[in-house]
Amino acid sequence: MSVTPRLLLAPMEGLLDARLRAVVTQAAHYDWCVTEFVRVTGTVLPARCYTRVAPELLNSSRTGAGVPVRVQLLGSDPVCLAENADQLTQLAPAGIDLNFGCPAPTVNRHRGGAVLLDEPGLLCDIAAACARAVAGRVPFTAKMRLGVRDASRAIEAAQALADGGAQMIVVHARTKEDGYRPPAHWPWIARIAEAVPVPVVANGEIWTVADYLRCRSESGLADVMLGRGAVADPLLAERIRAALRGEPAREPGQDWVRLAPLVIEYWQRVLGHVEARYAAGRLKQWLNLLRRVYPQAEHLYRQLRAVRENDEVDRVLRRECGTPGALGVAA
C-alpha cells in the first residue's frame, strides 16, 4: 500500500490532558494533536486559561516529542468565540479547532458540543466569525458528530461548517445519543466527504490496524483521528504506518518493554501536576484502557486496583515496571 495517511490524536476530555499527550506522542508520532476543550462563555479568557489546558503553548505549541498541538474551543456565541479565537491566535497555537462533538449532558445543557448540530445556521455563523478572527494566521478546523439523535442533518451541518470557513472537518461517526457505543457508522463519513469542499478526517471506534483498514474502506479516507484506541495502544499509529508499508505485525505484548518506562514517566508527571488525592485514579484510568491490549497492563492494574496511597503506587510501579520482562508476562 502506498498511501501515507495523516494520523491525528484526538481531544478527550478528562483523559488526554497535557500529561498523557506528552507520553502518548513520545510513544508514536502524530501529525498533530488537539487539546481538551476550553469552554468559552461570555468573556474573553486570559492567556493563562489557554496555557493551563495547553502548556505546550509555552513550547512553540509542540509536545516534548515535537508533535504540534492545536487548541480546541467550545461554546455557542459566535461573537464571544471569535474574540477568544483572536486572543488565542496571539499565543501562536499550531491551530484552532471548534468542538461540535462532545456528547456530555452537562456540556450539552449549556448549549455546547454536539447538541448544536441541530442548528446548522448557528454552526455556519460560529465558523464564519472565528474564521474572520483567525484571518488565516493559524489553521482553523472543526470536529463534529453525525447529529444529535440521528444523521439526517449530518451533511447539512458539515456544509455549514465548510461554508463558514472551517478548513478541515473531523467527523466522529456516531450521534450524540450514540455516545461511545459501537458501531461507528463510517459510511456516513464518505457521504459527508463527498458533500463538502474541504478535507475530512474519519474518527470513531478505531482500536486496531484492522479497524483502521475497515474504516478506510468504508469511509474512503486514509486520514484518521485516533482517540481511545491510541490511549489503549500508544503504538497504534506506528502499527498503522508499518502495516501500510507492508511490514509484518507485532504482538502488542512484545512492545511492553517500550511502554513500561512511559507508564512511570506518566505517573511522575501526574504527581507533579494533579492534586495528590486524584493521582492514583488518573494512573488507573490509563491502565484500565491499556489492559485492553497489553497483558502486562492487566497484571499491573490488578496490582494497583485497591491501592490508594501514592507512596504505595510508586513502590508497585517501580517494582513491576523497573526492568524489562517484569509484570510476570514475557516481554
Where in 135-188 does DSSP place strands (E)? 140-145, 169-172
Q: Cell 477568544 sits at which residue?
A: 84
User: In sequence order, which residues have a C-beta less than 8 Å from that of residue 255 and are 6 or more positions away?
Assistant: 235, 294
Q: Identify the three-state secondary structure at position 303.
A: helix
Question: What are the structural domains, with CATH classification, of the chain?
Answer: 7-244 (3.20.20.70), 252-321 (1.20.225)
Q: Is 130 a catalytic residue?
A: no
Q: Which residues have C-beta within 8 Å of that of residue 205, sequence separation ≥ 6?
A: 173, 174, 182, 183, 184, 211, 215, 229
- Find the angle CA(191)-CA(109)-CA(113) to the nearest 5 degrees: 35
33, 80, 102, 321: the catalytic one is: 102
Q: Which three cell numbers stand for residue 112?
A: 455546547
Nearby residues of 246 by Cβ (< 8 Å), 6 or more positions away = 1
Q: For each of the chain's 331 residues, which pLDDT tens digit applies? A: 446 899 999 999 999 999 999 999 999 999 999 999 999 999 999 999 999 999 999 999 999 999 999 999 999 999 999 999 999 999 999 999 999 999 998 899 889 999 999 999 999 999 999 999 999 999 999 999 999 999 999 999 999 999 999 999 999 999 999 999 999 999 999 999 999 999 999 999 999 999 999 999 999 999 999 999 999 999 999 999 999 999 998 888 889 999 999 999 999 999 999 999 999 999 999 999 999 999 999 999 999 999 999 999 999 998 988 743 344 333 2
**pTM of the complete model beyond 0.85:** yes
Burial class of 178 by CB neighbour count within 10 A (0 to 12, 13 to 18, 19+): buried
